[in-house]
Amino acid sequence: MAEARTIKVEALTRVEGEGGLFIRLDGDRIEDVKLSIYEPPRFFEAFLRGRRLEEVADITARICGICPVAYQMSAVHALEMAQGVTISPEIRRLRRLLYCGEWIESHALHMHLLHAPDFAGVDSGIELAEHFPDEVNRGLRLKKHGNELLEVLGGRAIHPINVAVGGFYRAPKKDDLLALLPDFEWGLEAAIETARWVATLTFPDFTRAYDMVALQHPDEYAMNEGAIASTSGKAVAVTDYETHYEEFHVEHSTALHSGRANGHASYHVGPLARVNLNLDRLTPRARQLADEVGIDWPCWNPFQAIIARGLELVHAYEEAIEIIRDYQPFAPSRIDYEHHTGAGCAATEAPRGLIYHRYEVDDAGLVTFAKIVPPTSQNQQQIEEDLRDWLPRVLHGDDSQTARDCERLVRCYDPCISCSTHFLKLTIDRGESS
């Protein structure tokens, strides 16, 4: 007789924010898989109403301490659309530079301290440093570079203060940016070594037929701007995002799930989606490296997202170096605008995937409506479906090992649970009583 049992991970570790995992089995038959997000709701979209639009970038940054720039960038682009502001090419380049800083900091953190320990079978980046001291120390230096760039350009690494609707409160000083160059030149070579190193890790042979979604831009590796492309269909304009992608609320999560608008089919956002869709827009050395890492792109193995992060790390260094070298101080650092009633939306690429914001404002410049769709809530459904496919391979009698193997898969997505909760209280385990 088949035995009904549950496997629970009460608290996922080495992810940002707090969530759990709940699996119900009947013998080896999978009855239920849930990524439970129990991070308490914080209600950003509600308390943004009535706030001045100039405060939105400062407030939405606080959704996530790991990727505040993603929230700031999406917010200011959406609000600029609402106020009819066109930013200058100089401001646009500096915004890409700021995003490079966040990608470097976030990817270096995830690769070395959160994800790589799984491949070495250790519990933390600190423990990993005992086995791979050079690699981990190198990773920490890279992470520090990202933070230093954020400090120069944003004022500080966590919750930068220099991002404004219309541009920046102050353009950086040329000398301050140039002072970063020696570290960044070293960092580019180190990032290449890092990408090569992660490519040598042993990956489970696990691929899935994903619908991968990321921004795509004709001239550049999309960060702040582009159409929403997919590996399984036509690209759509950001203004049509809500026609094609939809949020829905499930009981086990304080994060709203997302799916395709027709039938809520899952989709996958993040670095793997970006590289698959934008391979040829990587900077030259990152592009060249993509051919050396032993992957026949596109890649459909979620565990190899760490390689995609490595390529983006290299890309971010290369692009940052170019922007810093060419930088000339400019004015105005911020484009003026007059308040008027309006609506605007924007999508940008957070380190962990596509992020979408939409706002409505009144003629006094106060927010009347806010909608925020973070990357992890979009990946939630995908992660659960992956786990259903992954589970049969990792059911080997030892449930605690199964739980660890499932956590490994969850971690590939670099989930940011603080962000994803719009923000959820989860009751695990209706399953056992029913």
Partner 1 sequence: MSTMQQTPASETKPTLAVFKFASCDGCQLSLLDAEDELLAVAGIVDIAYFLEATSRIKDGPYDITLVEGSITTPHDERRIQEVRQQSKYLITIGACATAGGIQALRNWADIEDFTQAVYASPQYISTLATSTAIADHVPVDFELRGCPINQFQLIEVLKSLLAGRQPRTKTHCVCMDCKQRGNVCITVATGEPCLGPITQSGCGAICPTYNRGCYGCFGPAAQTHAQSLTDHLVREGAAPAQLVQLLRNFNSAAEPFLEQGNRLEDAVNLKGR
Please, which of residues 64-103 interact with partner 1 by CB under 8 A? 64-66, 68
Instruction: Check binding of 152 to partner 1 (CB under 8 A).
Output: no
Stretch in the footprint of partner 1 (CB under 8 A) among 37-45, 226-234, 286-294, 344-352? 37-45
> Can you tell me which of 7, 30, 120, 158 binds partner 1, judged by CB under 8 A?
158
Give the shortest CB-215-to-partner 1 separation in angstroms.
24
Give 172 or 271: the residue with its C-beta nearer to partner 1: 172
Alpha helices of 270-374 — where are they, by DSSP H? 271-278, 284-292, 305-326
Phi/psi of residue 3, nearest 5 degrees: -105, 125
Taken in order 250, 256, 262, 264, the sign of the CA dihedral is negative
Q: Give the span between the Cα atoms of 123 and 80, in whole angstroms.
A: 44
By CB under 8 A, which span of 162-170, 199-207, 213-221, 307-315 interacts with partner 1?
A: 162-170
For the bound state, the minimum distance from the C-beta of residue 89 to partner 1, rounded and expressed in Å, comes to 21
What is the rounded CA–CA span in Å between residue 194 and residue 60?
Answer: 32
Total residues binding partner 1 (CB under 8 A): 71
DSSP reduced 3-state for 260: strand
Question: Which residues on adjacent β-strands are paired with residue 257?
Answer: 248
Task: Give kind and range of the element (H or E) at residue 234.
Answer: strand 233-236
Site string for partner 1, 240-269 (x = CB under 8 A): --------xxxx--x-x-------------
- Residue 110 engages partner 1 in binding (rule: CB under 8 A): no
Contact set for partner 1, span 392-421 (CB under 8 A)? 404, 407, 416, 418
The answer, yes or no, to whether the previous bond of 68 is cis (omega within 30 of 0) is no
Q: Minimal distance in Å, beta carbon 368 to partner 1?
A: 11
Q: Is 80 helix (H, G, I), strand (E, B) or coil?
A: helix
Instruction: Answer for the pair 334, 169: CB distance below 8 angstroms, yes or no.
Output: yes
By CB under 8 A, the residues from 129 to 148 that bind partner 1 are: 129, 136-137, 140-141, 143-144, 147
Between 172 and 310, CB nearer to partner 1: 172
Phi, psi of 414 (to 5 degrees): 50, 50
Please report whether residue 43 would count as binding partner 1 according to CB under 8 A. yes
Structural contact between residues 38 and 432, judged by C-beta atoms closer than 8 angstroms: no
With contacts defined by CB under 8 A, name the span among 36-44, 262-270, 286-294, 298-306 that binds partner 1.
36-44
